[in-house]
A and B are shown apart, each in its own frame.
Chain A
Amino acid sequence: MAEEITVASSSAPEAQVQTPERRPPRSGPGGGRESGGGRKYFRRKKVCKFCVEKIEAINYKDVRLLAQFVAESGKIVPRRLTGVCTPHQRRLSSAIKQARNIALLPFAGRAS
């Protein structure tokens, strides 16, 4: 056992931790230890805007609402970025497509 420690200390002089690959060498701010996934900052859990604010109707005429879920380029922002739940994203995307057809929202961005 003593021999093992000396071997470990020869490779990493200041530490006696047995799992050197676990320690993130670049993690400056605290709280990174328990996540373990190499995540450097705390990410807030995204929630569906429509579930939280109890918005039932997703209508193609409501450009203000739809525009929040359309990127600058005119693309529909994916669920993994906005946190919208699946049923609402489905309604949202169909509403956005209807709005595009009646020229309320762009197909492609302002660049065109």
Chain B
Amino acid sequence: MNRTYELMFIVRPDMAEEDQDRLISSLEGAVGSSGGRVTNVEKMGKRRLAYTVRKFNDGIYILLTFEGGGGLVRELERRLRVSEPVIKFLSVRVDEEQKRLDKIKAVKEARRRAGSAASPAEGGTQEPAVTA
């Protein structure tokens, strides 16, 4: 059961850099211990929140992409809930959407290849029409 999830969370804006790193590495440890794999960690930096959350108007956004099962998501969310500097989080499953996008891309690629293969066969009729 390997699914890909994105876990985006917001920590309070006055959190120190090393504290963020410590939090991230603890989450990575949790992912690793339950058989998952962290594929990407992205610190998106400080951003203005669209609305006030726990009396904060700014927050530091961190995005964690990982592979694993549903139990792992539950564990990570539990950890985020109990860790005090985290003010908001959202976990989204992305593999199905990614699969859909890959499919569309493949279809488009195939169509493009078919089109480019067909146009030399048709020869001069297609080429000037495009340039003109």
Residue of B nearest to A70 (CB): B50
Q: Interface majority SS on B: helix, strand, loop or mixed?
A: strand
Decide if B51 touches A112 in the complex (CB within 8 Å). yes
Partner of B49, one of A61, A103, A108: A103
Decide if B92 touches A60 in the complex (CB within 8 Å). yes
Partner of A102, one of B88, B97, B101, B104: B88
Decide if B51 touches A57 in the complex (CB within 8 Å). no
**Chain A residues near B105 (CB-CB < 8 A):** 56
Q: Which of chain B's residues 57-76 have a Cβ closer than 8 Å to chain A?
A: 59, 63
Q: Which of chain B's residues 29-68 have a Cβ closer than 8 Å to chain A?
A: 47, 49-51, 53, 59, 63
Question: Given A60-B92, A98-B92, A112-B51, is A103 in contact with B104 using a C-beta cutoff of 8 Å?
Answer: no
Binary interface profile of B, 72-102, with partner A (CB < 8 Å = 1, else 0)?
0000000000000000111010000100010
